[in-house]
Structure 1
Amino acid sequence: MKKEEVQAIIGPQRSAQARFVIELDRKAQVPIISFSATSPSLSPSKNKFFIRIAQDDSAQVKAIADIVKAFSWPEIVLIYEDTEYGNSLIPHLVDALHLIDTRVPYRCVIPPSSNNTEIIKELNKLKENYIRIFLVHLTASLGSKLFVLAKNAEMMSEGYAWMVTEGLSSLLDPLSSKVVDSMQGVLGIRPYLTPSKHLKDFERKWKRNLTSVQAKIKSTTSLNLFGLWAYDTIWVLAMAVEKVGMYSRFFKQNVSGCNADLEASDIFENGTRLRNTIVNTTFEGLSGNFGLVNGQLEPSTFEVFNVIGKTEINIGYWTPQRGFSKDLKDTNEKAYLTSMDKLKPLIWPGYTIHQPPSRLRIGVPVKNSFKEFVKLEWNSSTDDTPKVSGFSIEVFNVVLDVLPFPLSYEFIPYMNKQRQSNGTYDQLLYEIKTKKYDAVTGDTTIIANRSMYVDFTLPYTESGVQMVVEVSVKHDEKKSLWIFLKPLSLNLWLTIGVAFIFTGLVIWVLEHRVNTEFRGPLEQQLGLIFWFSFSTLAFAHREEVVNNWSRFVLVIWIFLVLILTQSYTTSLTSILRVQKLKPAFVDVNEIIKNGYFVGYQNSSFVKELLKE
């Protein structure tokens, strides 16, 4: 810029380099035109003389979020490089994923200088986290190494899903066949190139020229989106130079005389004019209709593709106005669409059409007892997927029926190779924290220590600890001899005796004057007083009462006797039955003192409860 009096800069290609050059250019006011520095932090609106003949990386964020939403992925891991290019996009991605309730439980950051060993170490961490959905935001050099190593680590197989951002997907053509072969089933997005006669003519000339120059150079570069943007960059600059007329030179000479004095850089006289001319230039370029908005290419249509074989198969399009569509010519749909039905069928890693696990992994206990709650049945000895049934499973299914949205899931038994339980209930629930399971259903009891690492639903059945003990069936003969007295207390027995005598006396007084049956010797009259009340218990009295007042007293007395008889019979029956069902012991201290054996359900929390 100082020695050669540079009046425009094409590049730099990387975002980190562009940041440095932009700071350098603030004094010189020389337009900097980049076709590959896509970092969102490099904003042309904040840097007047920085022009981006490319799309901002943040333009693809909404399209990526819609793809994640279309496949109902509950969580996704971000893999990106530790550079200006990688770090600047992540906040935009995390915010967009948060809006669709997709978690980012782990971020894999790979430095550009990472060797194969370091990348393999990061891939092993991803395998241990039991997460199978990845979004890769890397440059071509680092991304090509990642996918080759991922295939060697068996992470490009069935059950995994990989998606790449625009930066890597726009450079797939120049990648080697080995790299493309390792990316089978990868999903990606990139800006859509509108077919034109101009582009087809250029591609034909390009292929023809490749054969003539291939003998002179060791390698050749295939066409890609960044190359087309670079071609359009040269054209827009050339057109702007012709319009402006580049006859002006720098003014304000460097008084220090030091070529490295950045603060004393000269100022380009026509920098502002050249910059404004570039920004306002429009023409039909190789990448489409060329026009800048706020100093950069305006986001438009994205192409969604699937890597199959040696090429990328188009499975649909995404536009900011309409969302997904299989064909851009289809204008019938006016609503914003985010359903995967609007994309063509695709092939996932492992050459399968089955979508990778957006299904929730539901752990279920394997038990040999109490199968009414959870029961596992295998159709054959080689079947790895058992039929799961039981009361807890029925409750789970009923809950799914009332949810306002569909929920895909699979039951995964917590078992070893011998189809036996792989551990206790505490260990089963802890697998939720280790990300092996998304949830657990079964007869799991809510206790305090488990609530420290998992969340429980509200209980749907009563839970608690009850002890079943041996009962005594022996009788104490001495106590059984007087057991008929136990239904009533001593005071009540005395009160009943007094009532017997008093009632007989009242009846005798009322009948003695008018009834000859209540007259006679003194001994006979005393016996009649005691006998009459007792005989009324069985209605066995011979004497007839003639006085109405006597009849009234007798009605009250018989009613009272009826109540006493029924209460006594019920109480005595209860006492005799309780004595037969009396437990051998009722105090836990007696268990400890005598060293009794206590049985409990295997793998249950009751063992630890008994210890406490």
Structure 2
Amino acid sequence: MEKAPRAIVVLLLLRLLAHFGAVALNVSTNPGADEFHVGVILDMGSLVGKEARTSISLAAEDFYAVHRNYSTRLVLHVRDSMGNSFQAASAALDLLNNYNVKAIIGPQKSSEAFFMKDIANISEVPVISFTATSPSLTYDNIPYFVRATISDSTQVNSIASLIKFYGWREVVPIYIDTDYGTGIMLDLLEALQGNDARVPYQSIIHQSATRDQMTQELYKLMTMQTRVFVVHMTSSMASVLFTMAKEVGMMNKGYVWIITFGVASLIGSLNPSVLEAMNGALGVEVYVPKSTELENFTIRWNTRFRKDNPNDPLLKLSIFGLWGYDTIWAVAHAAEMARPTKDKVQMHHMSNSTTTLKGPGNTQNGMNFLDAIFQYKFWGLSGYFDLSERQLQPTRFKIINIVGKGWRDIGFWTAKDGFSQRLTKPRSNRTYLGTKPYLNPVIWPGESTNIPRGWEIPTSGKKLQVGVCTSGGYPEYIYAEKDPIITGITTASGLVVDVFEETVKRLPYALPYEYVFYNTTENISSSYDDFVYQVYLKKYDIAIADITITYKRSSYVDFSLPYTESGVAMIVPVKKNINTTTWIFLKPLTFEMWFGSIMLFIYTGVVVWLLEFLSNNKNFCGPIPKHMVMIYFSLFAKKEMVERPLSRIVLIIWLFFLLVLTSSYTASLTSMLTVQQLQPTVTDVHELLRNGEYVGYQRGSYVKDLLDELGFSKSKIRRYDNIDEFRDALSKGSSNGGISALVDEIPYIKLFLAKHCEGYTMVGPIYKTAGFGYAFQKESPLRGDISKAILNITGGDTIIQIEKKWIGDQNKCRNVGPVTISGSLTFESFKGLFILTGVASTSSLLIALAIYFYKNKQVKSGNGEQNFEQKVKGDTIEASFIIQFTQLSGLSPGCIARNAFCSIFWNTADFA
């Protein structure tokens, strides 16, 4: 890199030998003012160069018309770079050495700025460009460079957001191989990737490409699936590109074209025939706020431009002209604020006959001038003009749609709020993912109003390659074969194929495809992994088979939504009805439940007997043994036989317990007598593990890894190839060289049970999986449409008919589906009732004992009359407790008097 400046200067010196035409614009109206010489380098043959020259001239006039008292006056020296980097650098040397310019406005192109960066660094003269937008031009490589325009990288997020807004997943950028074209690509690719868009191909067009070369590249793009293109090139090349695209048929329905800021900003100056060719394209522009000053300036600019350029009647004022205008205001103001010394950059001839450029040896002038520009912020014609960060920072972009020979706004974009139809419309915090109503309708290429999918199967390309193979143990799902002799055509059949073909029929477009046979080997699992991997290698566009969606496979392909039931379950033999025995009536309750019920039954009888015994109930004074009385009262005691309210409370709660228990017992026993024939031999996979039973799986299935994770030893796992082997192994059982259960995916289990319904059933699912799906290449545009069609099929009757065709009528087999086992009633289920009954009985007994001892104490200390009064008083105390108890439970005394349920324990005769 050190030799580059020396070689450049040698070539530039040769250019200086020729006559160099110059135009100086001295706008000084004050004879005593100091002249501040500024160089202007533009491509006068370009649209931007022509309009910028008019804007610069008007800007200098307007600035000093407003600031008449300024002591400095700009002297503008305009040079024509002719679109050539050498010419631009030559002009810079001429301006520095012959006119001692203190600043250079331009050059116009990014490539020209790169070419003359060493001149700017050595001369220490600020270079201000309002047209060079390449992100590669930075402060790091050109310290004295200021961009009075935006960087192309500022628009990439708006483009990426637009791609995501319409749901396109693939984009092809088309750009020229210059600093301007390539500078944006890194930022654009990063922005697209951040918005889930993929770039399968980049179309690079040489800046000197002919029309035939462009046509050839367009035909190449037509053979690809992607139909979304982002065009980033100069306006002249873009005009040729779109003209050729229309000729080859790429401006028809289904295509999407997006032009970047460089072309969109000059859309008003393009030839009407070019605009007609661009019909339907979208563009990104920097938003310029409307103002009275801008309207008045536009009228003046049009008048001046027509006078200066009578041969360019179509050229209109663009934002580049506005930036040129505002740049002159910033430079003129900085010239007044920073008073430079009269240093001069000189050419020194070296002894080796080369030419070098030597700076003044003092950077103070250049830095003062830059500081003055950075500090000057104002509202210009282009909007808020602030160069404090060495470039403009746009806050809003406008999205345009080219229609007819003009264009219209369809919305605006900001980094904060995303898209909107109007800048003044209040926005919520919603992202643009849900804000499609906030963009106006678009007229797409081909005058279509429907949003293009963004991809197509190319008519001139090959058909979609659909990989198929034969299922290892279940050909009902898929069977494929290739005719090796006659036609060589691959045919496929099965449930998987029927679902796929039905899905293709429901797509809103034609999808030509052909089956490609993949020959599986003995290890089905590794073959399926290899089969799916062929999609990653782009040998197939889609792979269809009974492919389980797994995490490993999803790392290199994308899957559609599943079209089968998901999960892993077990096939186990069914038990015979062994419970129709003499003692089956004991099975509805567990041992703990029987023991607890009997103990509570005895305890309740004891409590009732004690309560009545303490109240001297004459019904307890007969010759019947005490334990018989307890049993009788716990089961058959009536209201007339018990006298105390406490006894009646205990009996009511006990009877409620008996009601619940007997109802549950009856239901459980009924279930055992009617459903017991469906009970499987095994209900839990961990039971197999604890008992050391053998389990089986389909050869090559990933279920083996699942069994390993569950803790089964390799010696207890057996593999089989087909349904007949599964059945034989299950019929033998673990003790006879077979298996106790077959662990497999539910779709396979349904097929097994459809063929062998009697004697087997499904238990589970014991493990969750994603089911079967179709494999696509990463970011395939087909995946979304196929998945939607699958939802349409699986949500209706179609999938039922397809399954009935290949699997059979599953409703005829009651064993299909999880089996519900009727178990015994456990103590845990009735714990609350046991506690309630026990607490009620114990509390009543304690209260009765307390009343009994209190009454006896009072009897011993009084006479007979007092004894009677104390008895009544004791009964009143008990009655008072009952009243308080009912109030706490939500019952009022009035309720007790009226309610038949309450009257069981509320009787005034009990207290007489």
**Fold shared by both chains (TM-score > 0.5):** yes
Rounded to whole Å, the distance in 2 between the matches of 1:398 and 1:145 is 44
Q: TM-score with structure 1 length normalisation?
A: 0.61
SS of 1:262's partner is strand
Structure 2 residue corresponding to 1:65, chosen from 160, 172, 175:
160
TM-score for both structures, normalised by structure 2? 0.42
CA shift at 1:437, angstroms?
9.3
**Which moves more between the two structures, 104-113 or 256-265?**
256-265
Per-residue CA deviations over 1:8-51 (Å, capped at 9, x if unaligned) read: 11111111110122222112110100011111111136533101
Who is 1:103 aligned against?
198
Q: In the aligned structure 2, how far is the partner of 1:181 from the partner of 1:22?
A: 40
Which residue, out of 417, 421, 436, partners 1:340?
Answer: 436
Alignment-mate amino acid for residue 195 of structure 1? K
- Is contact 1:2–1:266 with CA below 8 Å preserved after alignment? no
Distance 1:399 1:152 in 2: 35
Are 1:139 and 2:234 an aligned pair?
yes
Is 1:236 the counterpart of 2:330? The answer is yes
The question of 1:76 aligning with 2:76 is answered no
Structure-1 separation of matches of 2:397 and 2:349: 51
1:261 aligns with 2:359: no
Is 1:314 the equivalent of 2:314? no
What whole-Å deviation, never above 9, does each CA across 1:329-367 have from its counterpart, x for those lacking one? 0124234434433211111100001111247879698xx
The answer for the alignment partner of 2:837 in structure 1 is: none
User: Per-residue deviation at 1:244?
Assistant: 2.2
Q: Does 1:121 align with 2:200?
A: no
Task: Find the aligned partners of 1:329 and 1:356 in 2 and give their Cα distance.
Answer: 29
Structure 2 letter corresponding to 1:320: A
Q: Which moved more, 1:78-87 or 1:96-105?
A: 96-105
SS state of the match for residue 250, structure 1?
coil
Shift in alpha-carbon separation, 1:14–1:434, aligned structure 2, 3 A: farther
Letter in 2 for 1:239: H
**Which position in structure 2 is the counterpart of 1:227?**
321
Say yes or no: does 1:21 pair with 2:119.
no
In structure 1, the partner of 2:512 is 414
Task: Return the offset for 1:147.
Answer: 0.5
CA displacement at 1:130 relative to structure 2? 2.5
Gaps of 5+ in 2: 1-95, 458-462, 467-475, 479-492, 519-531, 550-555, 566-912
How does 1:97-496 map onto structure 2 within 5 Å?
Answer: 97-213=192-308, 215=310, 217=311, 221-246=315-340, 248-250=342-344, 254=348, 256=350, 261-267=355-361, 270-338=365-433, 339-358=435-454, 391-392=495-496, 410=508, 412-414=510-512, 439=542
- Show CA shifts across 1:133-181 (max 9, x none): 1111111111111000000010000010000111111111111111111
Deviation at 1:183, TM superposition (A): 0.3
The answer to whether the Cα contact below 8 Å between 1:151 and 1:182 also exists between their aligned partners in 2 is: yes
- In structure 2, relative to structure 1, the CA distance for the partners of 1:255 and 1:102 (3 Å cut) is same
C-alpha separation between the residues in 2 aligned to 1:458 and 1:353? 29
1:412 partner SS:
coil
Task: Call closer, same or farther: CA 1:161–1:253 in 2, change over 3 Å.
Answer: closer
Q: Is the 8 A contact 2:225 2:455 kept in 1?
A: no
**Structure 1 residues 441, 154: closer, same or farther in 2, change over 3 A?**
farther
Work out whether residues 171 and 224 of structure 1, in 8 Å CA contact, stay in contact via their aligned partners in 2: yes
Instruction: Kindly state the Cα deviation for residue 312 of structure 1 after the two structures are TM-superposed.
Output: 1.7
Question: Following the alignment from structure 2 to structure 1, what is the Cα–Cα distance between the partners of residues 455 and 196?
Answer: 15
Change in CA separation of 1:436 and 1:232 when aligned onto 2, cut-off 3 Å = farther
Aligned mates of 2:429, 2:312 — CA distance in 1:
51
**Structure 1: segments with no counterpart, 5+ residues:** 366-371, 375-388, 401-407, 416-421, 447-452, 463-612
| CA distance in structure 2 between the aligned counterparts of 1:90 and 1:251, rounded to whole angstroms | 38
The answer to whether residue 99 in structure 2 is matched with residue 4 in structure 1 is yes
Contact 1:364–1:441 (Cα < 8 Å) also in 2: no
Contact 1:187 1:306 in 2 (8 A): yes
Aligned twin of 2:702 = none
Shift of 1:412: 3.4
Say whether the 8 Å CA contact 1:2–1:259 is kept in structure 2.
no
How far does residue 269 in structure 1 lie from its aligned partner after superposition? 5.2
For 2:162 and 2:140, the matched residues in 1 are separated by: 29
TM-aligned CA distance change 1:109 to 1:322, over 3 Å: same
* CA distance, structure 1, for counterparts of residue 159 and residue 122 of structure 2: 38
Q: Comparing 204-213 with 12-21, which one deviates more in the overlay?
A: 204-213
CA contact (8 A) 1:34 1:54 kept: yes
SS at match of 1:289: strand
Secondary structure of the structure 2 residue equivalent to 1:248 = coil
Indicate conservation of the 8 Å contact 2:271/2:314, yes or no.
Answer: no
The one-letter code matched in structure 1 to 2:190 is D
Task: Give the direction of change, closer, same or farther, for the CA distance of 1:295–1:398 in structure 2 (3 Å limit).
Answer: farther
Aligned mates of 2:286, 2:561 — CA distance in 1: 48
The SS at the match of 2:284 is: strand
Q: Give me the whole-angstrom Cα distance separating, in 1, the residues matched to 2:226 and 2:144.
A: 44
Choose between structure 1 and 2: higher helix proportion: 2
Distance across 1 between alignment mates of 2:125 and 2:143: 10
Q: What is the aligned partner in structure 1 of residue 184 from structure 2? A: 89
Residue pair 1:44, 1:52 contacting (<8 A) in 2 also: no
The farther-off stretch of 108-117 and 239-248 is 239-248
The answer as to whether partners of 1:164 and 1:189 remain within 8 angstroms in 2 is yes
Paired residue type of 2:344:
F
Is the alpha carbon distance of 1:179 and 1:435 closer, same or farther for their aligned partners in structure 2, counting shifts above 3 Å? farther
**Identity rate of aligned residues, in percent?**
36
Q: Deviations over 1:65-103 (max 9, x none)?
A: 111111111111011110001111111111111122211
Note closer, same or farther for the CA distance 1:231–1:68 as it changes in structure 2 (3 Å cut).
same
Q: How many angstroms does 1:275 deviate by? A: 1.3
Q: CA deviation at 1:373?
A: 8.8
Contact 1:169 1:188 in 2 (8 A): yes
Matches within 5 A, 1:542-553: none
Contact 1:129 1:436 in 2 (8 A): no
The whole-number CA distance in structure 2 between the counterparts of 1:413 and 1:26 is: 59
Deviations 1:219-275 (A, max 9, x none): 663111112111211221122112223552227884749997334344565111111
SS class of match (1:38): coil
Equivalent AA in structure 2 for residue 128 of structure 1:
T
Are the structure 2 counterparts of residues 253 and 348 from structure 1 closer, same or farther at C-alpha, using a change threshold of 3 Å? closer
1:220–1:151 CA distance, 2 compared to 1 (3 A): closer
RMSD: 4.1
CA displacement, residues 571-598 of structure 1 (integer Å, 9 cap, x when unaligned) = xxxxxxxxxxxxxxxxxxxxxxxxxxxx
